[in-house]
Amino acid sequence: MKPAYFLLFFAILCTSCKRQVFYDEFDPVFKTGDSIKWSVKNLDQKRWSVDRGFTGKNIFWVRANVKLISSVGGRLGLQVDAFGAYEIYWDGVKIGNNGKPGSINKPEIPGTECQYFLLPDSLSNIGMHTVALRTTQFSYPKLQRGIGLKLNTYINLIKRPLVISSVMFIMAGAFFIAFFYYAFLYFNSHKRSYPVMIFSIICLLFFSLLIMEYIKYYIEIPYPQFFIRLEIIGWLTFSISILVPLYFSIQFSLKRKLLLLSALLVTLVSIYIYHYGHYDISARYYSFAMWITTMIIVLEAIYRKEKGSFLVLAGMLASTVMNSYLVYDFGIFIFYTFIVFAMLYLHTIKMREIELAHESSLLLSSRLQLELIKKNIQPHFIKNTLTSLMDWVEDSPKQGAEFIQALATEFDIMNKIAEESLIPIRQEISLCQMHLKVMGFRKEIAYQWEDFGIKDDELIPPAIIHTLLENGITHNAPYQDGTMKFRLTYSEDLHLKEYVFETIGENRELSDERIGGGGFKYIRARLEESYPGRWTFSSSASNQGWISKITLSDTTI
Amino acid sequence: MRILIIEDEARIARRIERMTNDFFEGNATISIIDSLKKGIEFLEKEKINILLLDLNLNGRDGFEVLSTMTSRSFQTIVVSANTENALRAFELGVLDFVPKPFDRERLFLALNRAVTLKKESNNSIRYLSVRKTGSIKLIDLDQMGYIQGAGIYSEIHLLDGSKELHDKGLDTLEKILPSGFERIHKSYIINIVQADRILVSSGSRYNLQLKNGEVLPIGRSRYKGFKQQFEKHFE
In a domain, A24, yes or no: no
pLDDT over 50 (residue A11): yes
pLDDT of residue A486: 95
* One domain, residues B158 and B92: no
Domain closes at, from A115, A146, A177: A146
Write down the mean pLDDT value for chain A.
Answer: 86
* One domain, residues B105 and B157: no
Q: Average pLDDT in the A87-112 region?
A: 90
pLDDT of residue B118: 58
pLDDT over 50 (residue A1): no
Sequence-distant (6+) residues with CB within 8 A of A83 are A113, A137, A139, A140, A143, A145, A223, A226
Interatomic CA distance for residues A400 and A439, integer angstroms: 13
CB-based burial of residue A366 (10 Å sphere; 0-12 exposed, 13-18 middle, 19+ buried)?
Answer: exposed
Q: Average pLDDT in the A10-29 region?
A: 69
pLDDT of residue A453: 92
- Which residues in chain B are contacts of A515 at CB distance < 8 A? none
Residues spanned by the domain of B181 = 142-233
pLDDT over 50 (residue A393): yes
* One domain, residues B222 and B158: yes
Highest mean pLDDT among A22-36, A402-416, B61-75, B121-135: A402-416
pLDDT of residue A111: 92
pLDDT over 80 (residue A516): no
Q: Phi and psi dihedrals of B111, rounded to 5?
A: -65, -35
pLDDT of residue B58: 61
In a domain, A196, yes or no: yes
**Considering its fold, how many domains does chain A have in total?**
3
pLDDT of residue A255: 86
Interatomic CA distance for residues A61 and A30, integer angstroms: 6
Write down the mean pLDDT value for chain B.
Answer: 85
pLDDT of residue B125: 78
Domain closes at, from B77, B100, B115: B115
Q: Average pLDDT in the A162-178 region?
A: 88
* One domain, residues A215 and A255: yes
Q: How many CB atoms lie within 10 A of CB A25?
A: 15
Residues A427-438 pLDDT 10s:
999 999 999 999
* One domain, residues B66 and B169: no
Q: Are residues B185 and B222 in contact, defined by beta-carbon separation less than 8 angstroms?
A: yes
Q: Phi and psi dihedrals of A64, rounded to 5?
A: -145, 145
Q: Are residues B96 and B78 in contact, defined by beta-carbon separation less than 8 angstroms?
A: yes
| Helix locations, A275-424, DSSP H | 279-303, 309-325, 331-375, 379-395, 397-417
Residues A102-139 pLDDT 10s:
888 888 999 998 999 999 988 888 889 999 999 999 88
Residues A183-236 pLDDT 10s:
998 888 777 788 889 989 999 998 999 899 888 888 888 988 988 998 998 899
Q: How many residues does chain A have?
A: 557
Q: How many CB atoms lie within 10 A of CB A271?
A: 22
Q: Average pLDDT in the A58-80 region?
A: 89
Whole-prediction pTM: 0.58
**B106 CB near a chain A CB, below 8 Å?**
no
* One domain, residues A8 and A42: no
pLDDT of residue A406: 92
pLDDT of residue B73: 80
**B35 CB near a chain A CB, below 8 Å?**
yes
* One domain, residues A499 and A421: yes
In a domain, A98, yes or no: yes
Nearest to A387 among B8, B58, B101 (CB): B101
In a domain, B121, yes or no: no
- Which residues in chain B are contacts of A514 at CB distance < 8 A? 59
Interface with chain A: mutation pick from B14, B58, B103, highest number of A CBs within 10 Å: B58
Q: How many CB atoms lie within 10 A of CB A200?
A: 20
* One domain, residues A327 and A442: no
**B47 secondary structure, DSSP code:** -
pLDDT over 80 (residue A333): no
The answer to whether the peptide bond before residue B101 is cis (omega within 30 degrees of 0) is yes
Highest mean pLDDT among A7-21, A366-380, B216-230: B216-230
Nearest to A141 by CA among A57, A17, A250, A21: A57
In a domain, B200, yes or no: yes
pLDDT over 60 (residue A499): yes
Nearest to B198 by CA among B225, B179, B181, B217: B217
Which residue does chain B place closest to A382, by CA atoms?
B81
Domain at B149, CATH number: 2.40.50.1020
In a domain, B100, yes or no: yes
Confidence of residue B32 (pLDDT cuts 50, 70, 90): very high
* One domain, residues A410 and A461: yes
Query: For residue B212, what are the CA distances in angstroms to A87, A342, B139, B216?
Result: 124, 77, 19, 11
Residue % of chain B over a pLDDT of 70 = 94
In a domain, A73, yes or no: yes
In a domain, B120, yes or no: no
Interatomic CA distance for residues A366 and A544, integer angstroms: 37
Q: Are residues A23 and A69 in contact, defined by beta-carbon separation less than 8 angstroms?
A: yes
Distance from CA of A386 to the nearest CA of B (A): 6
* One domain, residues A306 and A410: no
In a domain, A20, yes or no: no
Query: For residue A313, what are the CA distances in angstroms to A2, A102, A410, B8, B9?
Result: 13, 55, 59, 63, 64
* One domain, residues B97 and B18: yes
Q: Are residues B195 and B145 in contact, defined by beta-carbon separation less than 8 angstroms?
A: no
* One domain, residues A177 and A313: yes
Nearest to A380 among B82, B102, B103 (CB): B82
Residues A291-303 pLDDT 10s:
899 899 999 999 9
CB-based burial of residue B219 (10 Å sphere; 0-12 exposed, 13-18 middle, 19+ buried)?
Answer: middle
Domain at A110, CATH number: 2.60.120.260
In a domain, A249, yes or no: yes
* One domain, residues A397 and A538: yes
Interface with chain B: mutation pick from A376, A391, A546, highest number of B CBs within 10 Å: A391
* One domain, residues B111 and B161: no
In a domain, B137, yes or no: no
* One domain, residues B78 and B170: no
Domain at B15, CATH number: 3.40.50.2300
In a domain, B109, yes or no: yes
Interface with chain A: mutation pick from B7, B9, B82, highest number of A CBs within 10 Å: B9
* One domain, residues B109 and B213: no
Distance from CA of B86 to the nearest CA of A (A): 13
In a domain, B124, yes or no: no
In a domain, A368, yes or no: no
Confidence of residue A343 (pLDDT cuts 50, 70, 90): confident
* One domain, residues A119 and A192: no
* One domain, residues A121 and A182: no
Query: For residue A70, what are the CA distances in angstroms to A23, A178, B28, B137?
Result: 7, 46, 124, 100
Handedness of CA A478, A479, A483, A487 (dihedral sign): negative
* One domain, residues B6 and B108: yes
Residues spanned by the domain of A208 = 2-13+161-356
**Considering its fold, how many domains does chain B have in total?**
2
Interatomic CA distance for residues A248 and A296, integer angstroms: 10
The three-state secondary structure class of A33 is: coil
**Torsion angle (degrees, nearest 10) of CA B132, B134, B140, B143:** -30
Distance from CA of B19 to the nearest CA of A (A): 11
Sequence-distant (6+) residues with CB within 8 A of A278 are none
pLDDT of residue A207: 92
Domain closes at, from A146, A171, A188: A146
In a domain, A156, yes or no: no
Q: Are residues A74 and A154 in contact, defined by beta-carbon separation less than 8 angstroms?
A: yes
pLDDT over 60 (residue B176): yes
CB spacing of A387 vs B15 below 8 angstroms: yes
* One domain, residues B106 and B190: no
Domain at A447, CATH number: 3.30.565.10
The answer to whether the peptide bond before residue A532 is cis (omega within 30 degrees of 0) is no
Q: Average pLDDT in the A71-95 region?
A: 90
Q: Are residues A506 and A475 in contact, defined by beta-carbon separation less than 8 angstroms?
A: no
Distance from CA of B10 to the nearest CA of A (A): 5
In sequence order, the β-bridge partners of residue A539 are A548
Residue % of chain A over a pLDDT of 70 = 93
* One domain, residues A271 and A340: yes
Highest mean pLDDT among A9-23, A274-288, A405-419: A405-419
CB-based burial of residue A50 (10 Å sphere; 0-12 exposed, 13-18 middle, 19+ buried)?
Answer: exposed
Residue % of chain A over a pLDDT of 90 = 34
Nearest to B183 by CA among B211, B156, B218, B157: B218
* One domain, residues A120 and A224: no
Would you put residue A115 in left (φ > 0), alpha (ψ -120 to 50) or beta?
beta
